[in-house]
Chains A and B, each alone.
Chain A
Amino acid sequence: MTSSILFNITTLAYLISMLIFFVFLASRIKALGIAGSATAFVGLAVQTVAIGLRWRESYALGVGHAPLSNLYESVVFFSWTIVLIYALLDLRYKYRIIGAFVMPFALLGMAWAQLGLDSGIQPLVPALQSNWLLYHVITCFLGYAAFAVACGISIMYLIRENHEKSTSANEQSIVATFPTSRVLDDLNYKAIMIGFPLLTLGIVTGAAWANYAWGTYWSWDPKETWSLIVWFIYAAFLHARITRGWVGRRAAWLSIIGFAATIFCYLGVNLLLSGLHSYGG
């Protein structure tokens, strides 16, 4: 079996998981929540095998390298990390319904990769031939994924908070099944607490690599600059929590804006600006 078939199965699993979560949202049947996360976990396991297999296939082609070297591979890896972070939060805090707001991100990534991107395995250009690539990409993407999860939670927060303000407490509706806004606020913070150290480590490993390869740890390359912009936004988020007037809605918006900046850092920079990073595809 080849990795590309497994990647298709993964995509399907994420699609099914998302649909189950949507039905779960509407019906509030508990078993569906369990089924939704279970399907996501199966997808995650299949994808893990597929990534390993693709790694091996690259060796068979004689260009052996970790599958993190072009746009296709990075999008696939991004999806994987999103589901991984979701799985960790789900196992720990058991708020299944978050899956309805997180799985769409993972599905979007896989669908785009499988349908729209060139999945060929290419040899590594000299600039990427370094172990730093592995450390740098893994830490960055785990950070990005935590921010994706935080963004999903923040959207839920805004919906829920609106609802709490405008309706009486015991009214029956889909939104009433969400965790309370206080819990969502806390989960948002927890996701960013995972993401921020990882992003920091991602920036540091990137700087270390740049210093090792070019002799400058920081050159204000657009990608570097955008990662710093993302970092500023989440630093603002962390301090917002201890600043009067910045908690609640504003913090949720910071988290959403932070993720928008993250996506721009990841994709927009390569598509719209020029620089040293090569995921432009």
Chain B
Amino acid sequence: MTNNERTLSQSLWDFFCSLKLTMFLFITLAVISIIGTIIPQGSPSPEYLQAITQNKLKLYQSLGFFDLYHSWWFMLLLALLSVNLVACSMKRFPQIWKTITRPVTVMNDGLEKTLTNLTVIKASGNAAELRDGVMRVLKTEFAEPLRTEVNGVYHLFAQKAPWCRLAVYFVHLSVVIIFIGAIIGSLFGYKGFVNIMEGEGVSKVMSRSEKEIDLGFTVRCEKFSVSYYDTGAPKEFKSILTVLDNGQPVPGYNRVSVIVNDPLTYKGITFYQSSYGKAGEYHFTVSDSNGKNPIDLVVNSNSSAKLPDGSGMHVLEITEDISPYAQGLSGPAANIEVHTPKGGTRRIVVYANHPELNMQQARQSGGPLFQYKGGKERIYTGLQVAKDPGVWVVWFGCFLMVVGIYIAFFMSHRRVWVRIQNGTITIGGNASKNQGGFQLYFERLVEKIKAQLSAEENK
């Protein structure tokens, strides 16, 4: 029984440590990510929904294909990758740690067979003197050697940069750190959006998940402007913002300009220039087509108003002065759209200074009589709002990853062993990376040792 348990947990452990699982996860993650760039993410467009069958839609929805990168099984794959990574690193780490902290300082036959760089030099003379000669070369050309004596045979061992074997573990750790940073961000941060009218302030923003979030301070938009290149392409979108805490402008946050690529951060919350638009408030009088039962009506841009007869209307466009567009007419006018309860749509122009035209229009259509009374239009700035307390954890992870990868690839743990006995000197070496480069290096080192020894012999 216990035996079975052990083999089960053992094979589970082996499964999580296996590099085959790693390959499977990398390739699966790549393929799934591709699917997510083909199937539209978020809320799919009506055209797309019409193009696929009901069954397909149901299937996609239940599998979370429209928010694939946040679906439970995508998360599961990432979690598996993390477990795989940690398990594999844990399994290998003790061996690596031993290599670093308790190096093999004596080259015996077993080790000698595994070394690809190996040279034997015949040298006559006193073994201790030979040893000292080789030590001098190693010290000046490579690294301070460690010497041991076993049964009258001298051994030297020298190494460089053993710690760079740890780099791979830091790379793996960095992946976990980045995941932790992302989790912190999604638990304790938010992304939101807010429109602020020129001259107004807001202290609440709407998060992407449609929750209202209290900022704890107020942001006022003093001004918004757009500038253009000569070609007519937009050059700069700029909001002038002021932060007010307890009703008072915060020093250093008074009338700061925020442009694309240059946001404003206050108390860990950052505001990004994202869009802009015009919003207006328009006043009308609406009555029956004979002028009876007048009521006042206020219509906002981007929304529609209900009329007494059950139809709806919204404003398409307004102008403060109609004269450039229509000869003989003057004053403000509004282009509106009326939707009748039966589903009909009419577009009409309503004037402020020409009631007779408005009446004529009402008579012709048999609909209500509109009278435009003017309106106010203001510009608003659209700001992206974000708070992410995990972002520095992510940057730390990225830093660790980049540095770690660099060290793992371009630095190498190099070791040289020397054995001196009865007139033969055996030199062996290996490197954890860039074997070709080390081979050349090793050959040169051997040449220097030979030169040193023959110089000493001739003395």
Q: Which residues of A contact B (CB under 8 A)?
A: 63, 122-123, 125-127, 129-130, 132, 186, 193, 196-197, 200-201, 204, 207-208, 211-218, 220, 222, 225-226, 228-229, 232-233, 235-236, 239-240, 242-243, 245-246, 261, 269, 273
- A-B contacts, 19 of them at CB < 8 A, read A125-B234, A129-B236, A197-B409, A204-B398, A204-B401, A208-B395, A213-B261, A213-B263, A215-B272, A217-B394, A225-B36, A229-B30, A236-B22, A236-B23, A236-B26, A239-B22, A239-B26, A243-B22, A246-B23
Closest-by-CB residue of B relative to A220 is B69
With A123-B231, A236-B23, A261-B30 given, name 11 new contacts (CB 8 A).
A123-B233, A126-B260, A201-B402, A213-B260, A214-B272, A215-B385, A215-B388, A218-B182, A225-B37, A229-B33, A232-B33
Q: Tell me if A232 and B26 are in contact (CB < 8 A).
A: yes
Decide: A233 and B26 in contact? CB cutoff 8 A: yes
A186 to B433 alpha-carbon distance, docked (Å):
12
A225-B33, A233-B30 known; A216 vs B263 contact (CB < 8 Å): no
Q: Give the interface centre of A63, A130, A214, A218 by most chain B CB atoms within 10 Å.
A: A214
CA A11 to CA B386, docked complex, whole Å: 46
Of all chain A residues, the one with the shortest Cβ separation from B398 is A204
* Contact status of A229 and B272, CB under 8 A, knowing A125-B234, A193-B409, A204-B402: no
In the complex, what's the smallest C-beta–C-beta distance from B93 to chain A, in angstroms?
Answer: 15
Contact of A220 among B30, B36, B385, B388 (CB under 8 A): B36
Min C-beta distance of A244 to chain B, whole Å? 8
Contact status B401-A213, CB under 8 Å: no
Q: Which of B1-51 contact A (CB under 8 A)?
A: 19-20, 22-23, 26-27, 29-30, 33-34, 36-38, 41
Confirm or deny: B325 has a beta carbon within 8 angstroms of a beta carbon on chain A.
no
A232 to chain B, nearest CB (A): 4
CB-CB under 8 A from A261, the residues of chain B are 30
Known: A201-B402, A213-B263, A215-B263. A126 touches B37 (CB 8 A): no
Q: Given A127-B260, A130-B261, A232-B26, A200–B237 Cβ distance below 8 Å?
A: no
Task: Count A-B contacts at CB 8 Å.
Answer: 113
A229–B27 Cα distance when bound, in Å, is 9
The 4 A-B residue pairs whose C-beta atoms are closest, nearest first, are A215-B386, A236-B26, A126-B260, A243-B19
Greatest chain B CB density within 10 A among A63, A130, A236 is at A236
Cα(A127)–Cα(B235), bound, Å: 9
Q: Which residues of A contact B69 (CB under 8 A)?
A: 220, 225
Closest-by-CB residue of B relative to A93 is B436
Give the residue name and chain of the A residue nearest to B403 (CB).
Answer: A197
Instruction: Decide: A240 near B23, CB < 8 A? Known: A123-B231, A204-B402, A213-B272.
Output: yes
Which residue on B lies nearest to A235, using beta carbons? Answer: B26
Contacting residue for B237 out of A126, A193, A226, CB 8 A: A126
Q: B132 CB to closest chain A CB, in angstroms?
A: 37
A200 close to B402 (CB less than 8 A): yes
The A-contacting residues of B in range 64-105, CB under 8 angstroms, are 69
- How far apart are A221's CB and chain B's nearest CB, in angstroms? 9
CA distance A269 to B259 in the complex (A): 28
Contacts of B37 in A (CB 8 A): 222, 225-226, 269, 273
Q: B191 within 8 Å of A by Cβ?
A: yes
Contacts of A243 in B (CB 8 A): 19-20, 22-23
Q: Please report the C-alpha to C-alpha distance between residue A213 and residue B272 in the assembled complex, in whole angstroms.
A: 7
Chain B residues contacting A125 (CB-CB under 8 Å) are 233-234
Pick from B34, B270, B406: contact of A215, CB under 8 Å: B270
**Interface residue ranges of B363-402 to A (CB < 8 Å):** 384-386, 388, 391, 394-395, 398, 401-402
On chain B, the residues within 8 Å of A245 by CB distance are 20
User: Of A126, A216, A269, which contacts B191 at CB under 8 A?
Assistant: A216
B164 on the interface (CB 8 Å rule)?
Answer: no
CB atoms of B22 and A212 under 8 A apart: no
Chain A residues closer than 8 Å to B388, beta-carbon distance: 211, 215-216
The answer to whether A212 and B23 touch (CB under 8 A), given A186-B436, A193-B409, A229-B34, is no
| Alpha-carbon distance between A45 and B261 when the two chains are bound, in angstroms | 34
| Contact between chains at A123 and B26 (CB < 8 Å) | no
Q: Is there contact, CB below 8 Å, between B406 and A197?
A: yes
Cβ B235 vs Cβ A123 within 8 A: yes
A225–B35 Cα distance when bound, in Å, is 10
Alpha-carbon distance A208/B178, docked complex (angstroms): 13
Report the minimal beta-carbon distance from B384 to chain A, rounded to whole angstroms: 5
Contacts of B26 in A (CB 8 A): 232-233, 235-236, 239
CB distance from B372 to the nearest CB of A (A): 36
Chain A residue at smallest Cβ distance from B29: A232
Contact with A along B126-152 (1 / 0, CB 8 A): 000000000000000000000000000
Measured CB to CB, the closest approach of chain B to A248, in angstroms, equals: 14
* Pair A126/B236 contact, Cβ less than 8 Å: yes
Chain A nearest Cβ from B197, distance in angstroms:
22
Cβ contacts under 8 Å, A63 to chain B: 229
Chain B, range 209-231, C-beta contacts under 8 Å to A: 229, 231
Q: Check: B405 CB closer than 8 A to any chain A CB.
A: yes
Hey, which chain B residues are within 8 Å of A186, CB to CB? 436
Q: Closest residue of chain A to B27, judged by CB?
A: A236
In the bound complex, CA of A261 to CA of B30 (Å): 10
B68 closest partner in A (C-beta): A220
Closest to B38 in A: A273
The smallest beta-carbon distance between B332 and chain A, in angstroms, is 33
Complex contacts, B234 vs chain A, CB 8 Å: 125-126
CB distance from B34 to the nearest CB of A (A): 6
Nearest CB in chain A to that of B437: its residue: A92
A132 to B69, CA, bound (A): 26
Question: Residue-by-residue, is B227-266 near A (CB-CB < 8 Å gives 1, otherwise 0)?
Answer: 0010101111100000000000000000000011101000
Name B257-286 residues within 8 Å CB distance of A.
Answer: 259-261, 263, 270, 272, 274
- Chain A residues with CB under 8 Å of B30's CB are 229, 232-233, 236, 261
Shortest beta-carbon distance from B167 to chain A in Å: 12
